[in-house]
A = this chain, B = another copy of it.
Amino acid sequence: MIIIMKDALTAKMVLAEAQNRQLPHVYRFENRVGFAEIKNINELSFINQADIVETIADHPAAMQVSRTFHPDDTIIQTPHSKIGGENFNLIAGPDAIESAEHVLAMGQAAKDAGATILRGGSYKPRTNPYSFQGLGEQGLQWHRAAADALGMDMMTEIMSPTDVDLVGKYTDIFQVGTRNMQNFALLKAVGKQSKPVLLKRGMSATVDEWLSAAEYIASEGNCQIILMERGIRSFDQKYLRNTMDVSVIPVLRELTHLPVLADPSHAAGVTEHVTPTGLAAVAAGAQGLMIEIHDQPDKAWVDGKQALTPEQMVNLFTKAQTIHDIVK
């Protein structure tokens, strides 16, 4: 149940009283107070009726991430980026961290192309257990050093609640991957952190499931959440690894205040389709792109066949920025 109070001050007082009464899962945004587990106004008789502007009983189950609770766009501030709203964010880096020199070189190329966030994996979710699983903490250290040297944000994937302290020691943004979108233990763990979380869509997740996964993070107190569409599973695996679901982007922009970015590298699966796929996402309203780059794609440790070269990245990012300016 969402209660719109006459002003932010009374809303603060309602929240304080709710906390005093130990009501579970009560949140505030400006003059709105949301009671995630209460469906009946009678349970809220402590609120002065005269201070209530409107009560909304029929709101999305994923309340905090909905525009019903939080009408304005969320804008997330990291050390080097503003994400969401009118901003347009570029994220690039190697799929896997390979060496200190390599991540630095890729970061430099990314920065030169306009990116402010340097991505890279040190813990890799590989389909097969015998594939390279990432360099672990050594990779985190090289990644951090490169980001610091370049004045960029570091973003890296986390796969287990047991890694939160270790990864959190280095990264600026936690990335939760598609396979872990409903790994609720992990969502709760990053929900307790104070750093932003980028949450990729599950391979066949519905909009409601995705927003509920984001709500898991928010319900623990961390509302700095970025959604990332990365292609959905479809029925033609001969020519397409995944299908970039551009149709979901305007839907999300309406339903949620969270930033919505896109990952054309995984959606496309092959280098030659990354650029058109990425531009399509931007034209549909994505507020940023994340891509994988490599200077020598055929020697990449992981997923080289979907990496863009630095030159291809410049072409994509330049066009993406232009298209964003047209559609925003």
Contact = CB atoms under 8 A, between A and B. Distances in A.
Given A180-B183, A235-B235, A62 B277 contact: no
Chain A interface residue number, banded:
35 or more
A159 B180 CA distance: 11
A13 interface: no
A22 interface: no
Contacts of A235: 204, 206, 232-235, 237
A234 to B, nearest CB: 7
A160 interface: yes
Given A183-B179, A276-B327, A61 B248 contact: no
A279 B272 contact: no
Contact of A283 (B62, B180, B209, B283): B283
A204 to B, nearest CB: 4
A73 interface: no
Interface stretch (A98-106, A127-135, A141-149, A290-298): A127-135
A214 to B, nearest CB: 10
A215 interface: yes
Interface of A: 25, 36-37, 61-62, 125-130, 159-163, 179-180, 182-186, 188, 202-204, 206-209, 212, 215-216, 219, 231-240, 242-251, 254-255, 267-268, 272-273, 276-277, 279-285, 319, 322-323, 326-327
